[in-house]
Structure 1
Amino acid sequence: MKILDMLRGRTERRAEDPSWNALVNGGNNTTAGSYVDAKSAESISAVFACVQALSESTACLPLHTYRRNEDGSRERADGHWLSRVLERPNDYQSGMELRECMTASVLLNGNGYARKEFNGAGEVTALHPMHPGRMSIVKLDSGRYRYDYTDDQGRPVRLLADEVLHLRDRTEPGSIVGKSRVTIARESLGLALSLRTHGAASFGRGARPASVLYNDGKQDLNSEQLTAIRGVMDSYSSPANAGKTLVMGVRGLKLENIGLSNEDAQWLEAMNFSVTEVCRMFRVPPILVQTLEQASYNNVESLGEQFVKFSLTRWLNLWESAISHQMLGPIARQRFYAEHAVDALLRGTAGERAEFYAKALNNEPWMDVDEVRRLENLPPRPNAS
């Protein structure tokens, strides 16, 4: 029997095993009456926007492989196998698509998994994402971990930790399974879902007209007139007639406008508060999910810098650390590493960059012109003849 098969052997799944008890985001009902899991949570526009802001930004940033030189400098190692697999992890995904997919999985489920493929030299040649809902992690008697996965055909697949790239959110002590933010904030998300359902049901049952005509009391309305009025009112059971004015062929009717009720105002306020709660959950500035109440011309740039420093950095470091410790061996990681290029997100205006470069090139220069041109995505100057 092969050594890998022995290590993947049968192991009793203990009831107290934290990795088994924390199995990803099974979903549950909330006090507000809504069922919350990763799928229903993502249907909330604020959740979707926060997840996309973090996963898209992480995936779109260039991820380069570098080699450390003995003199302390570094250089791009684009020909290294790690650079190739990060650029094209499999036959059906680009590196950007894989990183967006797995980052979103961690944000919604707490964990993101990809199965590694190796060549004869032990180098990773491909990464295949795996659905977090079909994965469980078992701690072996040896202290190592085994990943039990159910494939698309329903067949069980056993993998060792070295065969899986595992990205995870914050974990509990003694466990390597990430905690799902959707599970932690289930009650807040359940309230947001219930508020949305309440609003949709209210409009679906019948939209309130913008104004109404009423009798001035000078004449009584007969049954035919009341029937006509009731028929017109019934036509407003469709949201398509929302905001239209009622017109009735009966004398003695007066127009009265209907404003926003206190109940409607409280509902709108609660909806806005739920957006803030979701942004707090993912640590995303509300301006990035198109909530512009507190935005101004002066603070938009500052909020962008805060997003990079306090929201995005955690997910960039997650990828860089996982690549270093789960894809490179102990010797290889001393010379090679992967790092995102965040300069594009932190670039100032043309005037600010010009001032910065001027300081770097004058007096006691610590940059040369070709280094500046490279930062501006310009080719090197031609050699002087």
Structure 2
Amino acid sequence: MNWPFSNWFGRERRDVATSDPYLAEYLGQQSSVNGYVDTARASGLAVAQSCISVISQNLAAMPLNVYQRAENGGRDKATTVPLFGVMHDMFNPQMTAFEGREYLIWALLTNGNAYARIEINRRGQVVALYPLNPALVAVEKLESGRLRYRVSDQKGRGSIHLQEEMLHLRYRLAPDGIMGLSPIQMARETFGLALCQQDQAAKQAQKAFRPEGGLIFPQSISGSGKEKVFPGLAKRMRWKSCGYALKVRPRPLAFWFWTVAWIGNPSRCLPRMPSFWKAAS
């Protein structure tokens, strides 16, 4: 995600995950369906999580070796090169090569960018890779055209790394030629619809899938009459997890379910009153 003032300061940051719809709209993560698409929530959808897991785990399980030119013109595994152990055995002392590759691929599929800090020895050989959270990395383009990476830790402290000290993988190159495009943000309309459906299903499940409705009485009821009728009925139709909406109407006593068709066009589609909700006049 490009910050609005990135051109002023030469800085660009990608995929700021947020649950604040106003901040998401300001950062350009808004969709027309759900208002905004949070990368963390979207990747938590069952189908998205399954796809991300299958792709990242299968690609991480593929052999990734370092080769060197043999005397006969062929190639041999460069087992003596430190990079071979990094890619084949251990990314760093706390992470295996499989875990490191899986994390980088996961970051690519969710944020569109994957970062890893490169550690080298005195001979200039790569001896370790430390994957970084994409949300904590800011990319700055210098006047010389080179890139500089500003990394923030969990305590807010920052460190600066040169282009040679950072492994930067991109899912698909953005028009700026610097950052990668997030697959989730590219399909934010689809993910926004899926998140909206998931939220609506959760709300209906909390109400035991019972629609809201109204009570209609045969005669007009004063305010005190409503206060006497409503608490008893509401108590019977209330659950611990949520409340059940009731309204009182001065017509023949019955319970009517509110429906989208009735609210939208009452003259053509009237709700049906279940027989077990009818009351004798």
Normalised TM-score (structure 2): 0.66
Residues 323-358 of structure 1, C-alpha deviations (whole Å, 9 max, x = no match): xxxxxxxxxxxxxxxxxxxxxxxxxxxxxxxxxxxx
Secondary structure of 2:94's match? coil
Counterpart code for 2:179: V
Structure with greater helix percent: 1
Residue 120 of structure 1 and its aligned partner are, at CA, apart by: 0.6
Q: In the alignment, what sits opposite 2:169?
A: 167
Q: Does 1:25 align with 2:18?
A: no
Counterpart code for 1:61: M
CA distance in 2, matches of 1:182, 1:15: 27
CA distance in 2, matches of 1:151, 1:197: 33
CA distance in 1, matches of 2:34, 2:83: 48
Q: CA RMSD in A?
A: 3.1
The runs of 5 or more residues in structure 2 that have no matched partner are: 17-23, 211-232, 242-260, 262-281
Which shifted more, 99-108 or 146-155?
Answer: 146-155
Percent of residue pairs identical: 33
- Check whether the contact 1:30–1:190 (CA below 8 A) recurs between aligned residues: yes
Secondary structure of 2:92's match? coil
Q: Does 1:195 align with 2:197?
A: yes
Secondary structure of 1:198's match? helix
CA distance in 2, matches of 1:93, 1:42: 23
Q: How does 1:205-220 map to 2 (within 5 A)?
A: 205-207=207-209
Which shifted more, 117-126 or 146-155?
Answer: 146-155
Q: In the alignment, what sits opposite 1:143?
A: 145
Q: How does 1:288-303 map to 2 (within 5 A)?
A: none
- Check whether the contact 2:34–2:195 (CA below 8 A) recurs between aligned residues: no
CA distance in 2, matches of 1:193, 1:177: 26
Specify which of 109, 126, 129 is matched with residue 124 of structure 1: 126
Q: In the alignment, what sits opposite 2:39?
A: 38
Residue 203 of structure 1 and its aligned partner are, at CA, apart by: 1.6
Specify which of 178, 181, 191 is matched with residue 180 of structure 2: 178
Question: Whose RCO is larger (CA < 8 A, sep 6+)?
Answer: 1
Specify which of 153, 156, 164 is matched with residue 155 of structure 2: 153
Counterparts in 2 of 1:13 and 1:173: CA distance versus 1, 3 Å: closer
Specify which of 69, 93, 96 is matched with residue 95 of structure 2: 93
Counterpart code for 1:47: A
Structure with greater strand percent: 2
Residue 234 of structure 1 and its aligned partner are, at CA, apart by: 3.7
Counterpart code for 2:8: A
The runs of 5 or more residues in structure 1 that have no matched partner are: 1-11, 209-229, 240-262, 264-385
